Amino acid sequence: MATIHIRDVRKSYGTTEVIKGIDCAVGDGDLLVMLGPSGCGKSTLLRMVAGLERISEGEIAIGGRVVNKLEPKDRNIAMVFQNYALYPHMSVFDNMAYGLKIRGMPRAEIQRAVQEAAAILELTPFLDRKPRQLSGGQRQRVAMGRAIVRDPQVFLFDEPLSNLDAKLRNQMRVEIRKLQRRLGVTSLYVTHDQVEAMTLADRIMVMHSGVAEQVGTPLEIYARPATTFVAGFIGAPPMNFMPAEIAPDALSARLPGGLTTPLPQGLARGHGGRKVTLGVRPEHLHLGPPQPGDVALPLDIDLVEALGADTVVHGRVADSDAELLARLPGSAQVAAGQRLTLYPHAAELHLFDPATGRRLDPV
């Protein structure tokens, strides 16, 4: 069972703490994506699992075995680097075989293992080539081949697709997912790209400044973000935020600009009289007619972008400065200067505490 357990892990460089207590578990065969902006500590955490960085406090266990003191080569892991880290002077075959050779595997077995991995990754015609003779995508696959061939307990991916162009990235994303599912190896995947995260992950850990803001399935993270940071990080265009005040009876909210809108009963229960940050995704601002339980949000349109499949509307909450973005179907007939009322469903509204950014669920 190759599970990964990260228990209250911390890391400091001198007096600066960069990882501030992370707890997480990855089930056997699952792929956990560590997602966040640069500097959030995701790569550092990955490298601590790999054994390339020391753990200041806490424990990391792989397959039930605590690995804090173990060298990378003793942890039974394999890693795919952002810049592939292929040995430039060795052929593709030798690159993949290197780790096995060091372990003293007999030649015939190495042959077999490398050929097998090459077949899975469609690298067989390239086994004699050197890395510089390969394209970016091919090099990426060699890097993965090197990891597969070791038959490790855990795969570690450090932003492996960042150096590829957009089209290749989309293609490779799918391939990595299929491969990981097929091999069933527990994996940790670091990226700053939320689309990658959503596609690949069984679960996502959204990180920010050394802290895990939320861990959950992609859909959970999307539908019920735990903080404004998570809410704003996932989804493009990002979620709209605006300040609002809940009426004492929690049945209506005052929007920027002064308009009030009724709220369905369960939405703000327990938070009457509170100032909140109201969040709603652009794609959840629907044109009328409203359905029962929908909330009304009036909007002054400033700019319309007709993109064909979608129409993106830039505007402000009626009579206010609070900016709002809405994603409407391409056929929407809207123009700048209009006042439009849009109707998000109750479940598509999010309330956050303005001070802490934490989600406010109905009590």
Residues that bind other proteins (CB under 8 A): 50-52, 71-73, 77-79, 81-89, 98-99, 102-103, 146
Work out how close the CB of 43 gets to other proteins at its nearest, in angstroms, rounded to a whole number.
11
- Are 39 and 198 within 8 A, CB to CB? no
Residue 183 or 312 having the CB closest to other proteins? 183
Q: Which is nearer to other proteins, 90 or 247 (CB)?
A: 90
Shortest approach of other proteins to residue 151 CB, angstroms? 13
Whole-number minimum distance, CB 306 to other proteins, in Å?
Answer: 40
Cα–Cα dist 317/125, whole Å: 59
Nearer to other proteins, 94 or 202 (CB): 94
* Minimum distance from residue 95 beta carbon to other proteins (Å): 9
Shortest Cβ 249–other proteins spacing (Å): 59
Closer to other proteins by Cβ: residue 136 or 237: 136
Nearest approach, Cβ of 102 to other proteins (angstroms)?
4
88's CB contacts (< 8 A; 6+ apart) are 130, 131, 132
Which lies closer to other proteins via its Cβ, residue 77 or residue 123? 77
CB of 88 to other proteins, least distance (A): 7
Rounded CA gap, 153 and 184, in Å? 10
Residue among 50 and 198 whose Cβ is closer to other proteins: 50
Which of 178, 81, 185 lies closest to 139, judged by CA?
A: 81
Amino acid of residue 334: V
Specify the amino acid at residue 207.
M
Tokens of 14: 């001198």
Alpha carbon distance 224, 34 (integer Å) = 18
Identify which of residues 39 and 237 has a Cβ nearer to other proteins in the complex: 39
Residue 30 to residue 4: CA distance in whole angstroms: 10
Single-letter code of the amino acid located at 228: T
- Per the DSSP assignment, residues forming a β-bridge with 329 are 310
Closest CA relative to residue 212, chosen from 348, 5, 9: 9
Rounded to a whole number of angstroms, the minimum distance from the CB of residue 84 to other proteins is 8
The smaller minimum CB distance to other proteins, of residues 78 and 197, is found at 78
Shorter beta-carbon distance to other proteins: residue 52 or 346? 52
Contacts of residue 61, defined as CB under 8 A and 6 or more positions apart, other chains included, come to 3, 4, 5, 7, 67
- Say how many C-beta atoms besides its own lie within 10 A of residue 307's C-beta: 10
From the CB of 98, what's the least distance to other proteins, in Å? Answer: 5
Q: Which residue has the tokens 């500590």?
A: 41
Sign of CA dihedral 283, 288, 292, 294: positive
Q: Which two tokens stand for residue 101?
A: 């050779």
